[in-house]
Structure 1
């Protein structure tokens, strides 16, 4: 089974379109959270993960197993997480844009979930703390439980490690990479061979920069996309 692994879309429909168009044939998609925030297309990205967004053949046609990120939780109104000005602006913009059904979907996301016949565990930050930034230097087989693969997001840093006990991975951020590479990030997991291919794809960051400004969001949100930080 091949699995397309997404995380930290952050309302960036342009990057998500590029990722889905670039992705090779997979049997399933999964998402490690933060569907919304920062960029202006929160509703489109939520509906894409709900399997409700009409469009090209590459859009998912059924709900994508997804966990709750800190921005998702903030938009749903249930978080004490401390946000900077850019992040808070994105949260407020998402709350204004999303309808009741979309907000209910976000609010119903779990902090963790098992998928792919319980072989893959999805969390956002860390198996024991959804808000903990688990950078690659903290990766290790001790993070794994009964699952074969642990998928984390939150850091926006793409990385994976393969151990005798299984795989620990972060696919990186679709919508706001912070690892010095501005290209949209995702990964393809092969559960038969227990291998991961980290992938990056170019997209039109200028379009997003203009959309950020048109939406009245902080200009720095768009500028960061061009820098991968």
Structure 2
């Protein structure tokens, strides 16, 4: 099972379109907020289940602030992250995810990719496809792939150039 994880597209879906074309068939798309009114377009872009949470720039949105989704044996807390102080550290986010019985926490907001794999929890930020802030400033996204044994593998990918 292949899950595409993105965040912070900020209404500029060109790089998301490129990623969807590049990665091929996906089983689920998870967007971690700051879609800025493009949720219908994003849902129409793929032919699989799509889960989207609201980010701090999704003003007047009816998107949920956070959700828990179950994929395989994984309970995943999806949030933009700004309510958990992720710009400084992820400890509050980890605590919340564990308190909800989740073993994966996904967040955005910082526009910097991050992957922390610990014994009890995996924390992932795919970075931003539109306004990356990490060294080199390459747009980024993540893939969570669940193998035939039900074990999740995580990878962060970068687009070489922006359109």
1:65 aligns to what SS in structure 2?
Answer: strand
3-state DSSP class of the match of 1:119?
strand
Instruction: Work out the CA distance in 1 between the residues paired with 2:75 and 2:27.
Output: 14
Residues 110-129 of structure 1 correspond to what in structure 2 (within 5 A)? 110-117=64-71, 119-125=75-81, 129=83
Q: How does 1:198-213 map to 2 (within 5 A)?
A: 198-205=156-163
What residue number does 2:27 align with? Answer: 27
Query: What value does the CA root-mean-square deviation take over the aligned residues?
Result: 2.2
> Structure 2 residue aligned with 1:72, among 39, 58, 74?
58
**One of 16, 41, 48 as aligned partner of 2:41:** 48
Secondary structure at 2:50's aligned position in 1?
coil
2:97 matches 1:144: yes
Unpaired runs of 5+ residues, structure 1, are: 37-41, 53-58, 77-106, 206-229
| Distance in 1 between residues matched to 2:136 and 2:50, nearest whole Å | 26
Say yes or no: does 1:187 pair with 2:142. Answer: yes
Matched, 1:60 2:53: no
Residue by residue over 1:163-209, the C-alpha shift from the partner in whole angstroms, topping out at 9 and shown as x without a partner, is 1102101010011111123322100012432321001113444xxxx
Question: What is the correspondence of 1:138-177 to structure 2 with a 5 Å cutoff?
Answer: 138-140=89-91, 141-142=94-95, 144-145=97-98, 146-177=101-132
Quick one: distance in 2 between partners of 1:19 and 1:178? 19
1:16 corresponding residue in structure 2? 16
1:144–1:165: 8 Å Cα contact kept in structure 2?
Answer: no
Gaps of 5+ in 2: none
Off by >4 Å, runs of 4+ in structure 1: none
Report SS of the residue matched to 1:68: coil
Higher strand proportion, which one?
Answer: 2
Secondary structure at the counterpart of residue 20 of structure 1: helix
Q: In terms of Rg, which structure is larger?
A: 1
Q: Is the 8 A contact 2:7 2:141 kept in 1?
A: yes
Q: Distance in 2 between matches of 1:178 and 1:143?
A: 26
TM-score, normalised with respect to structure 1? 0.60
Higher helix share: 1
- SS of the equivalent of 2:35 reads coil
Contact 1:35-1:46 within 8 A present in 2 as well: yes
